[in-house]
Amino acid sequence: MKRIGIIGVGLLGSAVAARLLKGEFEVKGYDTRAEQIKSLHAQGLIAAGSIAEVAKDADAVFTILPSLQSVEETILGAGGLIETAPLNCTLIQMSTISPELTRRLGEAAATKGLVFLDAPMSGTSAMVERGDCAIFVAGDRARAYACQSIFDAIAEKTHYVGDIGMASLAKLATNLLVGLNTAALAEALVLGAKGGLAPSTLLDILKESAATSKMVDVRGPLMVSHRFDAQMKVELFLKDFKLMLEEGQRLGVSLPLTSITQQLATATVAAGRGEEDLAAIITTLEQLAGLQEHPEMKKN
């Protein structure tokens, strides 16, 4: 499998495309925003003008899109992948969507004789660019193994988790912990700052303590510098929180910490920071603590 299509070349889609191009795959990309495609031309990305053009002659097509509606329309809509993908093409759904929609898409693909893999990934766009990420795969085991070389080009690890829908559930659980860890880190830094402890000093301590985590390493520097270049936009993570809470309600699982973190993220978006990285949630906690100006920014 060497010919890959990607529908959705945003932050994450661009990182996936770059990894595959480095792995010497032939990659076609389609996005409704033409500028997203242009930025990868120099690396060898082939621009496609439609979903059908991406799918033509492709061994596999990834969907890496921001919303459940965009995923559903791309796969099930008029001119979508169910209609246009060749039968030997594997549909690989990487967006964060609900397990229920994932199962429905898999069933629709099966009725058309297409193989569908539920394969979201864990990692920010910057982490994916480095290959420091993991892919969760669910669906036909034989086809998943046949796609292993594709997954290896993108991620450090691939975890096969069973039937379609299970990978999407694993992604929600993973993002739940990512979101809560991010909020907890922000709380810790604000507590220290309010007491006069410089965030950079506290971050160094946290990195070498029992409290260390991937989010301390990835989002700690963003919080300390107050530079929130998006690796995962707050407004997109709000969609994930909604999916987590809906799945918790469906399963009868109480998610109180998730609910609180959703409210903090909602307030951060309301303050005009929706396009920034999830690390920007620290600004909401700073305001609640009466830290109107970031303590370390006063030095500049």
Cα torsion angle, 179, 181, 185, 188, sign: positive
Asked if 274 and 187 sit in the same domain, the reply is yes
Residues 127 and 179 placed together within one structural domain of the fold:
no
- Residue 33, pLDDT score: 79
The residue type of 271 is: A
Supply φ then ψ for residue 127, to 5 degrees: -65, -40
CATH number of the domain enclosing 204: 1.10.1040.10
Helices (H), 166-255: 166-194, 199-207, 214-225, 234-251
CA 189 to chain centre: 25
Contact call for residues 138 and 119 (beta carbons, < 8 A): yes
Nearest to 262 by CA among 136, 127, 128, 172: 172
* Burial of residue 208, with CB atoms counted within 10 A of its CB: 0-12 exposed, 13-18 middle, 19 or more buried: exposed
Q: Are residues 41 and 157 in the same domain?
A: yes
- Residue 54 CA, distance from chain mean position: 21
Same structural domain, 143 and 199: no
Judge if 141 and 213 occupy the same domain. Answer: no
Euclidean distance between CA atoms 61 and 78, whole angstroms: 17
pTM listed for this prediction: 0.93
Q: In total, how many domains does the chain have?
A: 2
pLDDT digit string, tens, across residues 37-76: 777 888 899 999 999 999 999 999 999 999 999 999 999 9
Amino acid at 41: H
Instruction: Give me the percent of the chain exceeding a pLDDT of 70.
Output: 97
In angstroms, the Cα distances linking 262 to 120, 130, 166, 198 are 21, 29, 23, 27
The four Cα atoms 280, 282, 285, 290 give a dihedral, to 10 degrees, of: -100
Contacts of 80 (CB under 8 A, 6+ apart): 51, 73, 74
Q: Looking at residue 91, which CATH number applies to its domain? A: 3.40.50.720
- Judge whether residue 189 has pLDDT over 90: yes
Same domain, 38 and 149: yes
Beta bridge partners of 7: 30, 63
Q: Which of these ranges, 28-32, 119-123, 136-140, 247-251, has the smallest mean pLDDT?
A: 28-32
Rounded-to-integer distance, Cα 229 and Cα 173, Å? 25
> Among 163, 197, 232, which residue terminates a domain?
163
- Asked if 156 contacts 133 with a C-beta cutoff of 8 angstroms, the reply is yes
Residue 34 confidence (pLDDT) above 90: no
Residues composing the chain: 300
Please tell me whether residues 112 and 175 are part of one structural domain.
no
Whole domain around residue 49: which residue ranges?
3-163
Same domain, 251 and 286: yes
Q: Among 95, 130, 163, give the residue marking a domain's end.
A: 163
The pLDDT, as a whole number, for residue 296 is 53
For 252, the 3-state DSSP assignment is coil
Q: Are residues 11 and 47 in the same domain?
A: yes
